[in-house]
Structure 1
């Protein structure tokens, strides 16, 4: 069985593959202070809750944008699962050709999402990940990553609004029924959610215009992505498991190495 892991700035998400089937997934808050034993305990608990034993895991692959916890997490996998994980990085085959100014600066998460989108849905495509930051990435019909746009995530946007204005409260990120809010909370929700829908649609249109192809497929993922994807016709597919699929695809390209 294959363990796929995405270490993000806000959450660590883990998926378990039995062959080509994703059978379960789990989300853990990202914290720098955890030890390898703490991570190991979480991993074993997740595997057991899925109906399997640690000994059933034969391989693991990790995408990480938080280098500070890589050592502890890798150590936990080696100690508790007796598996050496493969990290997305230099020397790893991804099937995606990177065509940006500084290829080594591309985040592993964006590369994994690009692979997942291209090999699952084809290209050219726009890949949107609604995470801590929201990324809009372009992959050509040849599987070339040619760049994209990055904006503050919807969570950061909402948190900034409440933390920087003394009289504005923290809010649940949900779409209100109307854009003309009758109280502070619904007016904030309207501004954040409807504003983010507008931003998303504008960037998609500008990318298609600049790329010169209005038929580009738009694939989105990310924890809060469903809220936005459900409110616009410009997003063709919302796939919550896109990152897991990308990790599995990349693992398959490297498993014989």
Structure 2
């Protein structure tokens, strides 16, 4: 069995793969202050509750956009899975992947994992939209090349900034409001964020397709993809486990 781990700025997502299928997955909050011992307690508890035997895990693949957690996780994983081989997604391994990374030190490892999975499933001329802490658009062109990325603040990041920088606007639950004409403060913020970001998403896709003179396959992933995709005119496919699937596939090339 393979343990795939994606350390993001907001959440750490990890899952167990057997025969290239994810059989269990978990999501916990990212905390840069936690020690290796504290993360070990969490992993040990969740794996036990999921009835996953640690000795059956033969490989581990990890991607992280939080550099300060690399050492604690290396220490934790080495102690918890003594017999498992551990691979870290870094620019050093990109030349072994089916996608070509034109700027290896300028792209997040999670985006490389997304692109790897999307390319394996959907081929060239594919865009991955990841609705995470940042809203990212990763485009794969002809010849399996990652052509570039567009980045905007994620939806929750935008709401947090709005609430943090204003005296009277609250944190809200991100869901489509009944009308674009917000009749109260919560609906007004939901309208601006949800419908505003829908326009942002469709506009970035339109501009990318125009610049490339190609029709792209659009794949959405990330925590809020299920909220946003029904509103978009451009997004076709939702892949909630795309990043972990990509990590699993990357591990197979190492």
Query: Cα deviations across residues 194-235 of structure 1 (Å, max 9, x unaligned)?
Result: 00101101111001001110x210011001111111211300
Question: In the alignment, which residue of structure 2 is the partner of 1:136?
Answer: 137
Per-residue displacement from partner, 1:92-149 (whole Å, max 9, x unpaired)? Answer: 222211124xx21211011110001000121211111111001111101321011021
Alignment gaps of 5+ in structure 1 = none
Alignment of 1:1-257 (within 5 A): 1-82=1-82, 83-92=84-93, 93-100=96-103, 103-213=104-214, 215-254=215-254
Contact 2:58/2:85 (8 A) holds in 1: no
Tell me if structure 2 keeps the 8 A contact 1:134–1:152.
Answer: yes
**TM-score (ref. length: structure 1):** 0.95
CA distance in 2, matches of 1:151, 1:139: 18
After TM superposition, the runs of 4+ consecutive aligned structure 1 residues lying more than 3 A away are none
- Indicate the SS of the match to 2:143: coil
1:28-64: CA deviation from partner (whole Å, max 9, x where unpaired):
1111111111111222222222222111111100010
Q: Which ranges in structure 2 are unaligned for 5 or more consecutive residues?
A: none
Question: TM-score when scaled to structure 2?
Answer: 0.96
Offset, 1:90: 2.9
Q: CA RMSD in A?
A: 1.1
